[in-house]
Structures are given as C-alpha cells and as structure tokens.
A and B are shown apart, each in its own frame.
Chain A
Amino acid sequence: MSVTARIAIGWLYLVLCGCMAPEGYEPHVPEGDPRQGREVLAELECGVCHVIPGVPGARGRVGPALADYKRNVYIAGRYPNDPDILTRFVRDAPSMSPDTAMPAIEMSEAQARDIAAYLYSL
C-alpha cells in the first residue's frame, strides 16, 4: 500500500472515530493504580491462564481472554461486572463462584484494586 493510501485511510479513520458517539460506561476503581496493576498481574503470573494485553507472555488459554474487560457485562457468568465485585473476585474467585476453575490467589486488597484498575484500562 502506498504512503498516500495509508495517510488517506488513517485520516478517514480519525474523522470517522472522531465523529462516533462514545461507547459510554467507564468503570472506575477508587485508589486503583493501573500501572501497578500490570506489574502485579505479571508478578502473580495471571498470564498462565489468561490472555492479558500489555502483560508480557500473558497468553494462557485456560480462562477467558481479558481484552476489552471493561465492556464485559458479567463476571464469571453470574455477577455484574462492577469494580467492587471484580476487586473481590480476582483475590478469591472460589468463595464467590465455587464451581470456577480459577483459584484463590494471595494478594493484598490494594493489589486487587490495582489489578481491577488495569483490567478496566484495557
């Protein structure tokens, strides 16, 4: 593709997206730090089971891919996807959904908030 064509397409894309109505809901995790969250996700090796954009090596296929997470309506097929619930779920999934394959993972409340904040930033 020629440079001109690329520029034209890029320009058109910008114009169209610029005019698009916004998608709406942006969940916000109070005191959650998305940057920290990304590091915690890498540290705890969440990528063994999940595809997580931005986390190196996170290409697991055991659990669902976590791209576009903020747009998901539900967590684990049974809870509304809301910041408080997600913060609890990432720490202790089995207590909320006993039939899930996701284990409880040791982490602090703050780390859970950071993870939730990062997932919502995707």
Chain B
Amino acid sequence: MTLVDAIWADVVALWRPALLNIYFAFASIPLGFVLAIFVALGKASRNRPLSRLASGYIYAFRGSPFFIQLFMFYSLMLALNLSVWKPLGIDTIVLNPLVLGPAILALNTTAYSAEIFHGALMAVPRGELEAARAFGMTRAQIFRRITWPNMLRLAWPAYTNEVVFLFHATALVYFTLPVIDGNADLMNKAGELFERDYNALLHYSVTAMFFLAISLCIFLIFGTFYRHLMRHTEGPKRIKFTTARL
C-alpha cells in the first residue's frame, strides 16, 4: 500500500466522524449565539442583580476548563437520572450525547461569545445612539437599527475566532460522553485507527488535516458574511485570527 492509498483510506474512514464534529458545532452555535446576545445585554443592563448574574456566568464559564464543565454537567445529568429523567421518561433524550454534547458546548460558547458581544455593545458609537434618540426612535427601533447592526459588525471578527475555537472544543466531547450507535467523532476514530496499526503520525496528521480544512471553511464562510456586513465601508475587510480565546 502506497502512502497515497494509506492517506486516502484514512480520509474515507474519517469523513463520517468529521460530520459528527461538524454536527456538534452547528447544533451548539445558533443556540449559543442567541443566548450570548441575551447574556451580553444582561451584562450591559443597568439592573444591578441582572448585570451581576450575567457577569458571574461569563466569568465562571470562561474561567474554568471546558473539559471539567463537560464532566460536571454529564455527571450531574447522570445523578439526576433515577430521580428525574427516568420518571419523566426522557432519560434517553437527556443523556444522549448528541443532545447533551451540544447543550454543554452551547453553555460554554455562550459565555465566550457574550463577552465578545458585550465588548462590541460597549463600542457602539455614542453619537449614533444620541442621533437616533433625537429622531424620536423608540427603544426597540434604536436596538434594531443602531445597536444591533453596529454590534454585529464590531463583534464579527472575534466571533469568527470563537466559532473556530468552539469547533476545536468539539474534539473533547467524546473524551467524557459515551459513544452510542457507533457515532464516533474524529478523535475517537483517530484513536481507533491508531490502535489498529500504531501508525500515530499518519492517522493523527489526517485527523489534523480534517480539523484544519473545516476551520478554513468556517473562516471562508464567516469572512464572506463579514464582507457582506461591511459592504458599505471602504478598506480591507479581512478577518484576522487572534490566537487567544478571548
């Protein structure tokens, strides 16, 4: 078997597990996005208890490792199984890794995204808000026409990075949650292939290539949307990747 054949065999073996990582990311991103907007608005709110609560949530989830969060929520769900989920008859849904995984990922990305959106919210030009108020816009109108578009534009590059980091975090899900129905993800499958012939370099390189390719796709898609968001402006509209998950 030549090297090309070996690589191709790995690509064939790994494409379906890669779909699982993509599923985890795409199931959690929309939920995390919506929740993050609310948490960011909560942190920026003048209501002190609400603001404290949102800040606390963000601090707790950004300050602790995702790996521990996974373990914590999974074991919490297991502990509640006999007393809550079983009697309700929803134990197979709640404990299903395809439901629980995205749920925990969403909780995690909500905190990171909320911090990004909160930063953007604070950077919305004051003059535009004052002008909108002078025009007699209602608060809902101001949010829809001034705050929201500005916030999205300001936050988008950082949010793109967050989505890539979230995608990378999906690699950790199955180190905690059980694999059911053979729904292995990339890291599972790579480990399985490794145990078959102990060729770490080949299998992990191909796995890395999958992550790299999908990360690049995310950049491409989000970059295209960023150009759309910034279509009225001049100058470069490229997203720069920051290497810290902020």
**Bound together:** no
Interface residue ranges, A against B (CB under 8 Å): none
Interface residue ranges, B against A (CB under 8 Å): none
